[in-house]
Structures are given as C-alpha cells and as structure tokens.
A and B are shown apart, each in its own frame.
Chain A
Amino acid sequence: MEQNNSLPPFPQGLASPQGAMTPGLPIFSPMMPYGTGLTPQPVQNTNSLSLLEEQQRHGMVGGSGQTPQLYHSQVSTTTALPGNTPLYNTPLTPMTPITPATPASESSGIVPQLQNIVSTVNLGCKLDLKTIALRARNAEYNPKRFAAVIMRIREPRTTALIFSSGKMVCTGAKSEEQSRLAARKYARVVQKLGFPAKFLDFKIQNMVGSCDVKFPIRLEGLVLTHQQFSSYEPELFPGLIYRMIKPRIVLLIFVSGKVVLTGAKVRGEIYEAFENIYPILKGFRKTT
C-alpha cells in the first residue's frame, strides 16, 4: 500500500498551526481517522467508495468545491492522536496517504461469517460413474438428468459432484481448510473403489459470507446514489445487488440489515468488501 509521503500543499498548510500546538507531532499520523460513515455525496461521488479511494491515493483530493468527504470536519472527535488539540474549523486534513477507505477510527466491528466454499480438484483419471454410484455410500447418479455422481459426506458436511473426466466440484464447506479436507475425503473414497485417484490443482473457486449490520437500510436511497453498482428491483428480488469493483465482490443487501457477500477467491476479499460497504450502509440507515 503506497504511503503518500509527499503531502499535497493544501493540508500541509494546516500542519503548521497544529504543529505549533503539538510540538513535533505529525498531523498526518496514520492514526488520524478520517471519514467515518459519511454518506458519499452524489455530486462528487459518482464512483464507489473504492474508486474514490483510488482517486485520493493519487492525490486528487481537495478540489475546490469538494468537501473532503472522507474527512472529519471536527478535530475534536479525533481521539487517536495524542496531544491533539481541538479547534480548528478548517477541514481536517489528512488527506489521503493513509490506508484508503477504512476509517481508521473504527472498523465495523463485525466480521462476516463464511457460509459456503466451492472448490474444484482434478482426480487425474477417468472414472466409471456407475461403479461409483453402486458401490459408494450416499451417492446419487441419474445420467438422464445430470452427468455426474452427487456424493455427500457428513464431516465436513459437504456435497461433491464427481464427473467421469475425473474432475470434481466440492461445495458446502464453511472454511478453506474444510473444503480441502472434504475434497481429499472424496478422493479417498474414489481411490478405495479402485481408481488411481490423485489430487491435482485443488482450487477454491468461490466463497460466500454473510453478516448483519444490525440496523435497517434504505435500499431505495442506496440505489439512487450508487446506481452504477446497484441493481434493486423489489418486485423481482427483495435484496439490492451491489457489484463492488474493488474487490470484485457481489453483495446482496437487504432492508433488514443482513448482507450476503459472494464472488471471493480468498477470505480477505469478503472482509475487505464488507469494510468498504459498511460506512456506506451506515449512511443509509433507516431512522424511522
């Protein structure tokens, strides 16, 4: 993450007065919070939060008419900086350099829980599905409907689709390790039936997480301000579909405050996407 050490002139102008008050204390300490839960303004913000961060990272911030969106307007609220004396009305600073997006003052405090992991692996040999269906336990095979054996195991509770090519899809695990372990168990079942099964190219293809922000959300407002990323058709589906660009995650956001995140290849993308959306959702909290 690039730390912008060259401060744009504007904020730097602010640094001196503060410097005078708090000797030797850099105003632009990474601890300085900026922007918690402020509603991205539609006017300047035609980008999603993530894109805005990108812009800021490039020092584009602080255009004349632009109120620094992600900044605190009151210094007094910053508790992170020791020796920080309040009072100064000029918009606070910190520009950008810090880690974009996540307001350093508070993360959401909510961790999305993983609900489903889909992974694939290549067993590396052709398989006779009928043999597998007849001899393995907990298997289904209906070639007229679907050309794979559907097998399930109880621990980890998962389902596998096993194809005659030797490729397999494993779904239903709640963690990456469980998905891998389950896939290995299926491979072992196939191996015990007499096939020379290997365990090639195991890859997690999709991860799904969910969480609850614990307040109701104005989806109508969200779709208006984030229309490039949102699709909300309550007559079709009660949730708003938010396609975040960075990271590339799709979120289903519901009026109740529950959020589903999917499309991740790694766990961190789920967490990152939620931290990105949380301040936006706070801005659309229903107050009635």
Chain B
Amino acid sequence: MAYQLYRNTTLGNSLQESLDELIQGSLNTYRFCDNVWTFVLNDVEFREVTDLVKVDKVKIVACDGKNTGSNAPE
C-alpha cells in the first residue's frame, strides 16, 4: 500500500491528486528525492489551542520516521 503511487506510475497513469487537493490549494511546490520530502506552502495558518501563527511561506522537510525506509539500494 505504501507504494500505490508507483504502481500507478508504472502503468503510466499518474494521479493529479497532489496538485488538485492537497493542503487545500496552499501547496506551492513539492519534491521527493533520496527519500526526503520537501514542501513549500504559502499563506499557512498554524493553529494550536491558544496560538495562531500565520505565515506567507513555509518550507517543510520530512524524512521517514521509524526504520521504515531501507537504506540498501535495490
């Protein structure tokens, strides 16, 4: 299930969802390379119980949390 995206890709039918819906249109760019995701979002509100932070631009860099990513090249 984790690799559904690529299953579709090998069929040549990639989905548009990441552009269409993700993050309700705030997504500016995304990148995935070396198992690292990088997102740039615009006009974002970070809401916590008491605080509200609004930013024009935020860059998110995300790596695999647990040991789910294998480092051995296939």
Contact = CB atoms under 8 A, between A and B. Distances in A.
A118 B14 contact: no
Contacts of B20: 157
Contact of A133 (B19, B32, B74): B32
Interface residues of A, number: 25
Interface in A138-187: 138-146, 148, 150, 152, 154, 157, 159, 161, 169, 171-172
A206 to B, nearest CB: 9
A157 B17 CA distance: 11
A137 interface: yes
A133 B6 CA distance: 16
Nearest to A141: B33
Contact of B14 (A133, A139, A143, A150): A150
B35 interface: yes
B45 to A, nearest CB: 23
A265 interface: no
A110 interface: no
B13 interface: yes
Interface in A195-223: none
Contact of B19 (A116, A148, A157): A157
B18 interface: yes
Interface residues of B, number: 21
Given A133-B33, A140-B32, A171 B13 contact: yes
A159 B16 contact: yes
Contacts of B50: none
Interface string B8-35: 0110111110111000000001111101
22 contacts: A116-B13, A118-B13, A130-B33, A137-B31, A138-B19, A138-B29, A139-B32, A139-B33, A140-B30, A140-B31, A140-B32, A145-B3, A145-B6, A148-B9, A152-B14, A152-B19, A157-B16, A157-B19, A159-B15, A161-B12, A169-B12, A171-B13
Given A140-B33, A144-B70, A146-B10, 16 more contacts: A118-B13, A133-B33, A134-B31, A134-B33, A138-B29, A138-B30, A140-B31, A140-B32, A141-B32, A145-B3, A145-B6, A152-B16, A152-B19, A157-B20, A161-B12, A172-B14
Interface of B: 3, 6, 9-10, 12-16, 18-20, 29-33, 35, 70, 73-74
